[in-house]
Amino acid sequence: MSAHDHAGHDHTHGGAAHGSLKGYLIGFVLSVILTAIPFWMVMTGAIDNKQATAIIIMAFAVVQIVVHMVFFLHMNPASEGGWSMLALIFTVILVVIVLSGSLWVMYHLNANMMPGLHEMREMP
Amino acid sequence: MASTAITAGTEPVFHLEEEHAHAEGGSTMLGFWLYLMSDCLIFAMLFAAYGVLGGNYAAGPAPKDLFDLGLVAVNTTMLLLSSITYGFAMLTMDKGRVGATQAWLAVTMLFGLAFLSIELYEFAHMIHEGATPQRSAFLSSFFTLVGTHGLHVTFGIVWMLTLMVQVARHGLIEANRRRLMCLSMFWHFLDVVWIGVFTFVYLMGMLR
């Protein structure tokens, strides 16, 4: 194996890519906090407004996913020459389109196609 | 042709000689990441299906009648602990300590098994109460989404067991390190999906 190969090898599998003890511990503590707060909010009903609670716990989930990506999956713009980040961004765009598109279309379908009481009474 | 001197015994070369050699497994991590991203799309579809059908109870049980958030919290803790112990396994692997790596992998597997057991207990309890997958669209999509995640965890545990045998036989050779790093990504990815499940299915279900 030539010196060049070895250098390239170290670059992709280098120690930095595995994270450090400190990184894992920070990620773990953040995850525990970000998990405990939503559970506490829903189990005790800390906020009366259900819609506000839903928005807050979804925000916590998004933050926790980012924490996992950074501290556990060691995602950074430089890993694998930027290709894994590119794949991730592409996937996130697809997921957003799939989720928001499905919910939006099906919600309107339900709202517009549901036979109301009024129409059903007129049926023979 | 005559001007090209071809010495006897030399095979003609049809590929670019400038092509440098790639280290074996050099692209495995990126390839595995792409697999995880496609897996992510599978879960996105299942989440979308649950999002659309999750409110159709067909006069059957609703999330409030079925879910026990205390149990889900314990389950989440198990998966989170298994994530950090797998991280410790990776750190000891970097130091080349075979015994410690195996021990952390075993601990991770125990947490994974605890997660699965609790989930199976929950499923059995629900089915016992008549909340079977065929009861309503909500339950069909619930069992498909959470069951697919559970199936991934099951295969992750099988994979972990296989790698522990490999490490015991061959030690922490380069190929085994690469495999352990792939499983690391798989395992942490499952934890990321679980964040979506407990938020979107369990917590939001209780708010409905």
**pLDDT tens-digit profile of B46-66?**
999 999 999 889 998 999 999
d(CA A107, CA A101): 10
What pLDDT is attached to residue B17?
64
Chain B CB contacts of A103 below 8 Å: 48, 51-52
Instruction: List A residues 48-67 in contact with B (Cβ-Cβ < 8 A).
Output: 50, 53-54, 57-58, 60-61, 64-65
CA distance B102 to chain A (A): 17
Classify residue B96 by burial, with Cβ atoms within 10 Å: 0-12, 13-18, 19+.
exposed
Nearest by CB to B188, which of A9, A73, A80? A73
Among chain A residues, the shortest Cα distance to B48 is held by: A99
**For residue A22, what pLDDT band results from cuts at 50, 70 and 90?**
very high
Calculate mean pLDDT across residues B13-34: 78
Instruction: List A residues 89-118 in contact with B (Cβ-Cβ < 8 A).
Output: 90-91, 94-95, 98-99, 102-103, 106
Contact (CB<8Å) A43/B69: yes
Residues B192, B113 contacting (CB under 8 angstroms): no
What is the four-CA torsion angle of B155, B156, B159, B163, rounded to 10 degrees? -170
Which structure tokens are listed for B105? Answer: 């992998």
3-state DSSP assignment of residue B1: coil
Work out the mean pLDDT of chain A and round it to a whole number.
81
CA distance A72 to chain B (A): 6
Work out the mean pLDDT of chain B and round it to a whole number.
91
Calculate mean pLDDT across residues B117-135: 95
Cβ neighbors of B5 (< 8 A, separation 6 or more) are none
CA distance A122 to chain B (A): 24
pLDDT at residue A124 tops 60: no
Between helices A50-71 and A21-44, what is the axis angle to 10°?
170
pLDDT at residue B5 tops 60: no
- The answer, for B165 touching chain A at a CB cutoff of 8 Å, is no
The sign of the torsion formed by the CA atoms of A55, A57, A62, A67 equals positive
pLDDT at residue A40 tops 90: yes
Listed residue (B84, B146, B160) closest to B116, CA to CA: B146
d(CA B176, CA B25): 11
Provide DSSP, B149-181: HHHHHHHHHHHHHHHHHHHHHH-S-HHHHHHHH
CA distance B145 to chain A (A): 14
Calculate mean pLDDT across residues A15-27: 79
The residue with greater pLDDT, A113 or A42, is A42
Chain B CB contacts of A15 below 8 Å: 94
Cβ neighbors of B152 (< 8 A, separation 6 or more) are B39, B186, B190, B193
pLDDT at residue B6 tops 70: no
Q: Which residue blocks in A1-124 are alpha helix, DSSP H?
A: 3-13, 21-44, 50-71, 83-113, 117-122
Among chain A residues, the shortest Cα distance to B32 is held by: A84
The residue with greater pLDDT, B22 or B165, is B165
Contact (CB<8Å) B206/A42: yes
pLDDT, tens digit (0-9, with 9 covering 90-100), for B86-110 = 999 999 999 999 999 999 999 999 9
What pLDDT is attached to residue A119?
55
Tell me which of B27, B37, B82, B187 to substitute to probe the interface with A (most A C-beta atoms closer than 10 Å).
B37
Count Cβ atoms below 10 Å from residue B105 Cβ, excluding itself.
24
- The answer, for B188 touching chain A at a CB cutoff of 8 Å, is yes
First to last CA, chain B: 80
**Which backbone phi and psi does A123 adopt, to 5 degrees?**
-70, 150
The residue with greater pLDDT, A111 or A25, is A25
The letter for the amino acid at B17 is E
Listed residue (A35, A80, A16) closest to B28, CA to CA: A80
Contact (CB<8Å) B41/A94: yes
- Across B1-10, B85-94, B184-193, least confident range: B1-10
Listed residue (B44, B4, B95, B121) closest to A101, CA to CA: B44
d(CA B126, CA A105): 31
Residues B85, B107 contacting (CB under 8 angstroms): yes
Among chain A residues, the shortest Cα distance to B77 is held by: A32
pLDDT at residue B113 tops 90: yes
